[in-house]
Amino acid sequence: MPGRFDGFDDFFPWYVGQHSRRPTRWFHFVGTHLGAATALTGIVTRRPALLAGMPLISYSVAWFSHFVIEKNNPASFGHPLWSLRGDIRMLAMMWQGRDGELDAIARQALRPPRAA
């Protein structure tokens, strides 16, 4: 996992490259939404213990996809805040029907650097 990025815009393509397969991204999408629904249920029913379900559900579903589908470590292990921001951007793009654009970003990020 690269340790240094010049900023979030430098990080985001690498982040998407760590989610190069559509099923991985869709596991993130479903896990995040299930976690949010659990937290919302906790708020509506006044059961604050359900709020703890949000990160538990969201991360377990997402991390499963990394270990089983991508066969890599989650980016949140090394860059937790940028990973959260990257996940929000990635999910927003999916909501906008831009999964094909994410495919292109991932392909570019995974392309080996050219020799100088």
**pLDDT at residue number 45:** 96
More confident position, 14 or 116 = 14
pLDDT at 104 over 80: yes
80's tokens: 């937790």
Coil/strand/helix, residue 35: helix
Residues 6+ apart with CB under 8 A from 27: 61, 62, 64, 65, 69
Q: Which amino acid is at 82?
A: W
Q: Find the mean pLDDT for residues 9-29.
A: 96
Q: Where are the domains of the chain?
A: 10-108
- Number of other residues whose CB lies within 10 A of the CB of residue 51: 15
pTM over 0.85: yes
Number of Cβ atoms within 10 Å of the Cβ of 97: 8
Cα of 4 vs its chain's centroid, Å:
19
Kindly tell me if the per-residue pLDDT of 35 is higher than 70.
yes
Quick one: pLDDT at residue 115?
A: 61
**Residue of 115, 92, 111, 112 lying closest to 102 (CA atoms):** 92
Label residue 28 exposed, middle or buried (CB < 10 Å: 0-12, 13-18, 19+): buried
Token pair, residue 84, equals 């959260």
pLDDT above 90: percentage of residues in the chain: 84
